[in-house]
């Protein structure tokens, strides 16, 4: 049973560029959440997708957007990259919206903006 | 919005010593509480969780945590640590209102010396 997978593992981009990160949820899970983890900090919630719609959003600007596909996989897009966007981006999947199921995390994508 | 506080970001202790990590949250309603662990080079894994019932919960690898509602706390404990417990530990909270977005603390970096 595959857990949460994310691609790519590492990414280097230049300021102003755009980036797309990908996530496949754990088998059977239908809800995907994205988190940003800056160095030395805990993960911060970006947004959550369920039934192909953004259901909740944290305190992140509109430069951060996402998508969920019919197979429950998800993408995180960041436009107009800033140096401060350098971080580990984590995807987490869970089963069902509105229920306190635990979230399973992927290994993350390390984004470096130069 | 919920916030989570973890103190003593860096903890160094010897094998067989006892470990206690504090976690306090600010949210007045019903909460679900979690401790996640991140071993070196690995992704976040769930150590234990509290949804309701017995406030003393037991997790994997001999860890336990106690929910004290009056103190808004969910402290993690292990009576005797091993070198393999070297990791970063994160406390996380979500409001028990149907939204399962997690608010994380900044984490505790624990180093166990053999």
Per-residue model confidence as pLDDT tens digits over A40-73 = 899 999 999 999 999 989 999 999 999 999 999 9
Region class of B107: left (phi > 0), else alpha (psi between -120 and 50), else beta: left
Whether B90 contacts B76, CB under 8 Å: no
Q: Does A6 touch chain B (CB under 8 A)?
A: no
What percentage of chain A exceeds 90 in pLDDT?
A: 87
Output the tens digit of pLDDT for each of chain B's 114 residues: 678 999 878 999 999 999 999 999 998 788 899 999 999 989 999 999 999 899 999 999 999 999 999 999 999 999 999 999 999 999 999 876 767 789 999 999 999 999
Please report the DSSP string for B83-101 in residue order. GGG-EEEEEEEEESSS---
- The pLDDT, as a whole number, for residue A7 is 97
Which residues in chain B have their CB less than 8 angstroms from residue A105's CB? Answer: 36, 43-45
Q: Could you report the per-residue pLDDT of B28-58, keeping only the tens digit for each?
A: 788 899 999 999 989 999 999 999 899 999 9
Residue of A nearest to B107 (CA): A42
Instruction: State how far the Cα of B96 lies from the Cα of B58, in Å rounded to an integer.
Output: 20
Separation between Cα atoms, residue B61 and residue A78, nearest integer Å: 38
Of A101, A102, A107, the CB nearest to B43: A107
């Amino acid at each position: 049973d595959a857990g949460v997978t994310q691609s790519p593992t590492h990414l280097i981009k230049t300021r102003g560029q755009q980036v797309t990160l990908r996530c496949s949820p754990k088998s059977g899970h239908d809800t995907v959440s994205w988190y940003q983890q800056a160095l030395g900090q805990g993960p911060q919630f970006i947004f959550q997708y369920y039934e192909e719609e953004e259901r909740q959003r944290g305190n992140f600007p509109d430069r951060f957007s996402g998508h969920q596909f019919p197979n429950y996989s998800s993408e995180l897009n960041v436009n107009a990259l800033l140096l401060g966007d350098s971080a580990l981006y984590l995807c987490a999947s869970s089963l069902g919206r509105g229920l306190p199921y635990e979230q399973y995390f992927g290994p993350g994508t390390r984004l470096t903006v130069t | 919005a919920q916030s989570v506080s973890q103190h003593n970001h860096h903890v160094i202790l010897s094998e067989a010593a006892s470990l206690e990590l504090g976690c306090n949250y600010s949210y007045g309603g019903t909460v679900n509480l979690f401790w996640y662990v991140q071993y070196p080079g690995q992704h976040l894994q769930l150590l234990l969780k509290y949804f309701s019932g017995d406030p003393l919960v037991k997790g994997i690898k001999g860890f336990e945590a106690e929910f004290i509602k009056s103190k808004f706390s969910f402290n993690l404990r292990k009576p005797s640590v091993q070198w393999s417990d070297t990791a970063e530990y994160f406390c996380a909270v979500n409001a028990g209102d149907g939204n399962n977005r997690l608010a994380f603390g900044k984490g505790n970096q624990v180093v166990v010396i053999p």
